Amino acid sequence: MIPTNPNFTYPTNLELNGLESTLKRFANYPESKIKDEIISKLVEEIGLQGRTFHLLTKASLTQCQGTFSSSTSNIIQLLENFKTKELVNIKPDLMISELAKEFDLIKSGYKDISNTLQKISKEFQSHKSFLNNEQNSLNQSILNLKYSIRQEKLNSIKTGIIFGFGIGSLSNFTTVIILPKFDCGLTLFTSMFTGGLLGWYFGNKLSFKFKQEVLIKENQLDNLIQNSQYIDKVMDNIELFKDGVNLFETFWSRHHYHMISTQNFIHNARKGTAQISNFNIKSILISWERAKVSLDNYEMTVDSITK
């Protein structure tokens, strides 16, 4: 329920707290060069919200420079008549009602942008979780392939040594029969060494396919890591953009609340449920004068953003 007393919360100036350059970047957010359909789509949506923010801010600035400024000045003049005339003889609430509608549309526009950015951030977080799962799966696959390569080499070397041992033993047996006094140890060792060397060579040849697959998966993993890092940066940007948009929403919400509070007070004063006194009228006038100053400052604050 809206309070009916005239002790209003004054609309305050819009303070961007150094976010001017951030909001200009938001209004001109670049397309993604990442080859990921989901990322590209979400970044495109950020760009759309940035352009919407720019158009809404530019429209609100134009309104401040025209209708809002003149209407606020007229309302202040009408409210000053409370000092000498009966409330029923003046009708500032019609102008206030029109302004309240405009302010409500503007604050709702900023709120929609903020909500959309929050939704985009959640979708990015969901996609990042998917990418992390893919990274874990690829890491495990790479480890398995590297293990298979090592095993393939070891098995080939073992097979070569065994084969060399068999050949060497057969050769030694034949030699002993022909030359009983001949030392065959060196021949056996040479055969085993040669067999092991051949096994290592063929093991490398056989594991080449695995190595190629490892390289492919490592490249895929690098791409996933880069995509995740890019998402982190974009999500940080979204938080900054959202903080800036929320400042605009708060600014216009306070002005809208001020309008409705004034309108509600006038309505209750006409019904006799709100007292009209010099103190009350002074409070109303002070709040409106500060509201006008706030709108005037808004022009200076957002001018650089809308260019």
Q: For every residue of 209-245, which 3-state class applies, written as one string?
A: HHHHHHHHHHHHHHHHHHHHHHHHHHHHHHHHHHHHH
pLDDT: is 187 or 105 the higher one? 105
How many residues comprise the chain? 307
Whole-prediction pTM:
0.76
Q: Are 3 and 257 in contact (CB under 8 A)?
A: no
What is the tens place of the pLDDT at every residue in 105-119?
999 999 999 999 999
What value does the mean pLDDT take over residues 194-214?
Answer: 55
Checking if the pLDDT of 253 tops 60, the result is yes
Question: Which two structure tokens, joined as six digits, stand for 103?
Answer: 């302010």
Checking if the pLDDT of 173 tops 70, the result is no
Q: Are 284 and 82 in contact (CB under 8 A)?
A: yes
The predicted pLDDT at position 255 comes to 92
What value does the mean pLDDT take over residues 68-76?
Answer: 83
The predicted pLDDT at position 241 comes to 94
Q: Domain segments of the chain: what residues?
A: 20-302
The predicted pLDDT at position 277 comes to 63
What is the tens place of the pLDDT at every residue in 54-66?
999 999 998 988 8
Question: Which two structure tokens, joined as six digits, stand for 95?
Answer: 């102008």
**Phi-psi category of 43—alpha, beta or left, where left has phi over 0 and alpha has psi -120 to 50?**
alpha
**Cα–Cα distance for residue pair 101/3, rounded to 1 Å:** 19
Question: Which two structure tokens, joined as six digits, stand for 272?
Answer: 């006799």
